[in-house]
Amino acid sequence: MTNDANKMWGGRFAAGPDAIMEAINASIGFDQRLARQDIQGSRAHAAMLAATGILTNSDAEAIREGLLTVLSEIETGEFAFSTALEDIHMNVEARLKELIGEPAGRLHTGRSRNDQVATDFRLWVRDQCDAAHSGLRALQIALLNQAEAGADWVMPGFTHLQTAQPVTWGHHMMAYVEMLGRDASRFADARARMNECPLGAAALAGTSFPIDRDATAQALGFDRPMANSLDAVADRDFALEFLAASSITAMHLSRLAEELVIWSSAQFRFVTMSDRFSTGSSIMPQKKNPDAAELVRAKIGRILGATVGLFTVMKGLPLAYSKDMQEDKQQVFDAADSLMLSLAAMEGMVADMSANPDALRVAAASGFSTATDLADWLVREAGLPFRDAHHVTGTLVALAESTGVDLPDLSLDQMMSAHPAITDAVFGVLGVDNSVKSRTSYGGTSPDQVRSQIAFWKERLG
């Protein structure tokens, strides 16, 4: 019977159903990443227990020293993690007992694994918000440097990936600085909202011991303790908000990565990617592949997938704690890893890439990119309603296309054939340089506006 049962469960689990339960129940394979936060929380809890007289000072000191020893063993790789002990909390507590004996058993007074893991995880995610904020800042600085170098380099601006109007390289780089600035603010906002301490909520109802939750919250850098013990152990909004902010950031990185893939192609030649972030082909010796950009472009799949995954885990759970919530960590860990790697890779690519101003300028002049400037001139100088100016400009674009020239190359007679109010002053607004210099409205692409925004962000980022 036992042999048949083992065959039913499969060769992976030689001990039968007990091994299955241990495998599905244990989280130490991934939650050992919370070791530093777990020990940090335990030290704060022990200090509070001593300060309130729940724990003797000698026991608290033994616990403090023992926890430091455990942390050292973990950081040096000497610690032996046990699946039988299920999670990081029990692994640390068991080793603490081996080191200091009976006082270790008093550490858990006034708390539960429910509020313990909620605190550990919140501390870890809070650290990741800080890390993401730093990574975003580094990438913004790399983009600012590119923008400053090419504040007046003319390039095509696109809509529908078709040439629309000339813009500057600096203006394009600054668009991503703005996007990433919003990303950074989302992580900052999420961090502020999650900065409340679950510790002391115990299993779900609080504790009868006279604990000081304000003291542990302060010791762990939280603004305050969470106000409802049920919510404290049941909430994973902080992780969901981190994932949501990560997903939006990853989407922005993916858009930039896509542009780098396009721009570095032989058809565009807008940029040259450094060898550090490119690979070759196993069969085509001429190839230089933007693999780092392509991988950053793909990371949104993993990060957004983690977001959907955790929403799905949490969506039907009654208050307060359910074992389902053990499935909250792996996807957050993976998303955080993917995000930080993507930010670092993108910073490296942006810092190292070289723009090709000549190719940018040639492309900027293609596709009748100054047609809008002509229409604006007709409104401003000839007094035409914009819709009429739009029609006249369209007529001249068709004429230029049929004769194989660009708008600035049409003669004045050809221009006047579309409307007699056109004078030779129109040529002062045509041409890509004139076009970008004229876009002086706040947030526009003129080099002066771009340099103003660069100065603003330099001061803001410090």
* pLDDT, one tens digit for every residue, the chain (462 residues): 444 444 444 555 555 557 787 788 888 888 899 999 999 999 999 999 999 999 999 999 999 999 999 999 999 999 999 988 989 999 999 999 999 999 999 999 999 999 999 999 999 999 999 999 999 999 999 999 999 999 999 999 998 988 888 999 999 999 999 999 999 999 999 999 999 999 999 999 999 999 999 999 999 999 999 999 999 999 999 999 999 999 999 999 999 999 999 999 989 999 998 888 776 554 454 557 888 999 999 999 999 999 999 999 999 999 999 999 998 999 999 999 999 999 999 999 999 999 999 999 999 888 677 788 888 888 988 888 999 999 998 998 898 888 888 888 888 888 888 898 888 888 877 888 888 998 899 999 999 999 999 999 999 998
Sign, CA torsion 433/434/437/443 = negative
Q: What is the widest separation between alpha-carbon atoms in the chain?
A: 100
How far is it, in rounded angstroms, from Cα 309 to Cα 299?
15
Cβ 139 vs Cβ 350: under 8 Å: yes
Six-digit token pair at 15?
């001990």
Whole-prediction pTM value? 0.89
How far is it, in rounded angstroms, from Cα 312 to Cα 3?
37
Query: What are the Cα distances from residue 368, in Å, to 166, 312, 399, 440?
Result: 10, 49, 11, 21
Query: What are the Cα distances from residue 370, in Å, to 112, 155, 361, 366, 434?
Result: 68, 12, 13, 9, 9
Q: How distant is the alpha carbon of residue 207 from its chain centre?
A: 38
Amino acid, single-letter form, for residue 151: A
Nearest to 134 by CA among 340, 407, 291: 340
How far is it, in rounded angstroms, from Cα 225 to Cα 458?
37
Six-digit token pair at 142?
């790399």
Pairing of strands 271-272, 354-355: antiparallel
Cβ 89 vs Cβ 116: under 8 Å: yes
Q: Which residues are catalytic?
A: 160, 281
Amino acid, single-letter form, for residue 45: H
- Cβ-in-10-Å burial (0-12, 13-18, 19+) of 162 comes to exposed
* H or E segment and range at residue 349: helix 330-352
Euclidean distance between the first and the last CA atom of the chain, given in angstroms as a whole number: 71
Rg over alpha carbons for the chain, rounded to the nearest Å, is: 31
